[in-house]
């Protein structure tokens, strides 16, 4: 039996999807699943459901539950990570504290203050998982679903663990494009590359015909543009369509959430169109609704078809040699030549019996790479802060964040970070005993005169212009 350890298996609905996807794959039905979470409250529900499916369908699979991560990882062939450190309680702070300062987030799990602090909580844990893997299952492959994907995988890229980060943004965006251009997605040839949640469709063809002219025409029609205002606007100005929705993308750039006028114009759609706190509100609703309820108890034991998630297809390819090509998040290492080698890039990856192989995309269009780099700058500092526990680096990461810097002064950013570090300290042990320098304040009384010091020659020229004007 191959062994798959799922770290963070208390995410009931997602864990159920992964389990049934793998069980529905004929070549993988004889799999041992080791479900690990800090408590067995949710994982025991998943196990009961899985056991029912196994019995009903005559599968050879086996499911165990543990709260011991090392026990789950021992001798695993594959490790799936899907945890959320701090849960909804931490998520609430990620959203509400920045909002108090004027930083309005919709999703808050990838960039912005929310994404940065989620990375600060999660990176030390994923590095502990990687360290345990190096000891207990050194040949295993880690399939990561933990957000913020790019920051998590950047940190993993500095370990010896074989890994790939998985997201469904490419699949769902392809569904959208297919509907816009009127071509079945199975007939669309594409290349998507960039960074997670900001991957660019640099090729969109069907039977050798470029689909971009049709897509551009559709986005000039109000009824299509209205569906995806933010993504449509970036498409119109940058020339390429990207992988994330209005709610996500509006947080990664400085143009759409910086004031009420922009929010009203671009982020007013309901149902995750970009409204404030949409994802936190949804997560809080789900957590409260199912707090005491076993939502899997009423589920049928029939195996559903495989979902759009890549996980089962990748494991099937690695086990059987049946080639599967997908978009994965890996250490760049030259895959995209105008992004840094050490960053986490998202692009085409091939899985087969030989393992995982990333392909060489080459250069992105320069404007696309430039927009990616504005996010990569933040990712770099957030990863460094998570590993070193230096609170000053957190301030610097937030100061370079496109949304935060479009709204706040440097002093306001420092004050916000200080409040978030204090509020979330139970999940941030690497910052224990460390504090931010207070924001420097130099009050200037009305009667003060400038000090008698040498003046920058350039400023002296402007000073002379002022004298002449008088």
User: Nearest Cα to 170, choosing from 149, 140, 153?
Assistant: 149
Among positive and negative, which fits the CA dihedral 347, 351, 355, 359?
negative
Distance of CA 64 to the CA centre of its chain: 29
What is the domain count for the chain? 1
Tell me what pLDDT residue 458 has.
66
Residue 109 to residue 119: CA distance in whole angstroms = 9
> Which segments are annotated as binding site for Mn(2+)?
167, 197
Least-confidence region, from 9-18, 60-69, 337-346, 369-378: 9-18
pLDDT digits (tens, 9 = 90+) for 244-259: 888 899 999 999 999 9
* Helices and strands per DSSP (H, E), number in the chain: 19, 12
| CB contact at 8 A, 88 and 284 | yes
| Spatial separation of the C-alpha atoms in residues 287 and 351, rounded to whole Å | 35
Burial of 286 (0-12, 13-18, 19+ CB in 10 A): middle
pLDDT of amino acid 141? 98
Global pTM reads 0.93
Cα–Cα distance measured from residue 427 to residue 87, given in angstroms and rounded to the nearest whole number:
10
46 within a domain of the structure (yes/no)? no
CA 258 to each of CA 36, 99, 197, 228: distance values in angstroms, whole numbers, following the listed order: 41, 12, 20, 18
Which residues are part of a known binding site?
147, 167, 197
Say whether pLDDT at 441 is over 90.
no
Chain mean pLDDT for the chain: 92
| pLDDT above 70 for 466 | no
Query: Does 103 have pLDDT greater than 80?
Result: yes
355-358/62-66 β-pairing: unpaired
What is the per-residue pLDDT across 259-300, written as a single tens digit (0 to 9) for each? 999 998 888 765 556 888 888 998 888 888 777 777 787 788
H/E run at residue 4 = strand 2-7
Is the confidence at residue 190, as pLDDT, over 60? yes
**Cβ-contact 380, 343 below 8 angstroms:** yes
CATH number for the domain that contains residue 358 = 3.90.1820.10
> Could you give the C-alpha distances from 452 to 333, 446, 449, 455, in angstroms and in order?
52, 17, 9, 9
What is the domain range of residue 388?
Answer: 88-112+168-431
In a domain, 381, yes or no: yes
Is residue 65, in this structure, part of any structural domain at all? no
Question: Does residue 263 belong to any structural domain of this protein?
Answer: yes
Region 7-36 average pLDDT: 92
Report the pLDDT value the prediction gives residue 468, as an integer from 0 to 100: 60
In-domain check, residue 218: yes
The band of 460, judged by pLDDT with boundaries at 50, 70 and 90, is low
- Would 289 be classed as within a structural domain? yes
Q: Which residues are catalytic?
A: 168, 252
Does residue 231 carry a pLDDT above 80?
A: yes
Residues contributing to the annotated binding site for substrate? 147
The answer to whether residue 395 scores a pLDDT higher than 60 is yes
Asked if the model's pLDDT at residue 69 lies above 70, the reply is: yes
Which of 205, 194, 446, 447 lies closest to 343, judged by CA?
194
User: Does residue 12 lie in a domain region?
Assistant: no
Average pLDDT over residues 137-152: 97
Q: Encode pLDDT of 201-225 as tens digits.
A: 999 999 999 999 999 999 999 888 8
Q: Is 112 left (phi over 0), alpha (psi -120 to 50) or beta?
A: left
For residue 205, tell me if it sits in a domain. Answer: yes
For position 225, what pLDDT does the model report? 87
Of the given ranges (72-86, 213-227, 394-408), which has the lowest mean pLDDT? 213-227
pLDDT at 449: 72
- Distance from C-alpha of 27 to C-alpha of 313, rounded to nearest angstrom: 10
């Amino acid at each position: 039996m191959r062994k798959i350890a799922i770290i963070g298996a208390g995410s009931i609905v997602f864990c159920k999807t992964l389990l049934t996807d793998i069980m529905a794959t004929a070549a993988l039905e004889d799999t041992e699943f080791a479900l690990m979470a800090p408590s067995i409250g949710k994982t025991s529900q998943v196990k009961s459901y899985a056991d029912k499916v196994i019995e009903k369908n005559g599968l050879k699979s086996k499911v165990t539950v543990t709260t011991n991560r090392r026990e789950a990882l021992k001798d695993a062939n594959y490790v799936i990570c899907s945890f959320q450190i701090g849960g909804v309680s931490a998520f609430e702070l990620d959203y509400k504290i920045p909002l108090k300062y004027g930083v309005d987030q919709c999703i808050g799990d990838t960039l912005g203050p929310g994404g940065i602090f989620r990375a600060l909580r999660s990176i030390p844990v994923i590095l502990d998982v990687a360290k345990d893997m190096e000891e207990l299952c050194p040949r295993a492959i880690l399939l990561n679903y933990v957000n913020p994907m790019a920051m998590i995988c950047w940190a993993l890229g500095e370990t010896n663990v074989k890994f790939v980060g998985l997201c469904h943004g490419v699949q769902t965006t392809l569904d959208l494009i297919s509907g816009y251009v009127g071509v079945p997605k199975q007939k669309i040839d594409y290349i998507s590359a960039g960074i997670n949640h900001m991957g660019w469709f640099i090729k969109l063809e069907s039977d050798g015909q470029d689909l971009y002219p049709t897509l551009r025409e559709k986005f000039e029609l109000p009824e299509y543009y209205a569906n995806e205002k933010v993504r449509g606007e970036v498409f119109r100005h940058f020339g390429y369509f990207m992988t994330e929705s209005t709610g996500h993308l509006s947080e990664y750039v400085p143009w759409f959430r910086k004031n009420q006028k922009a929010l009203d114009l671009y982020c007013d759609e309901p149902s995750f169109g970009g409204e404030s706190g949409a994802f936190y509100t949804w997560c809080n609703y789900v957590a409260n609704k199912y707090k005491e309820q076993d939502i899997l108890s009423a589920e049928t034991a029939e195996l559903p078809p495989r979902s759009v998630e890549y996980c089962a297809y990748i494991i099937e390819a690695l086990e059987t040699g049946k080639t599967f090509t997908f978009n994965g998040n890996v250490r760049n290492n030259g895959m995209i030549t105008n992004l840094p080698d050490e960053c986490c890039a998202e692009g085409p990856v091939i899985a087969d019996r030989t393992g995982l192989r990333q392909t060489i995309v080459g250069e992105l269009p320069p404007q696309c790479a430039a927009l990616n780099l504005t996010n990569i700058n933040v990712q770099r500092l957030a990863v460094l802060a998570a590993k070193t526990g230096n609170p000053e680096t957190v301030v610097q990461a937030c100061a370079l964040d496109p949304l935060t810097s479009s709204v706040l002064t440097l002093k306001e950013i420092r004050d916000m970070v200080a409040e978030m570090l204090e509020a979330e300290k139970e999940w941030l042990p690497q910052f224990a005993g460390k504090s931010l320098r207070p924001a420097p304040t130099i009050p200037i009384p009305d009667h003060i005169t400038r000090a008698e010091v040498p003046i920058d020659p350039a400023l002296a020229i402007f000073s002379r212009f002022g004298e002449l004007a008088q």
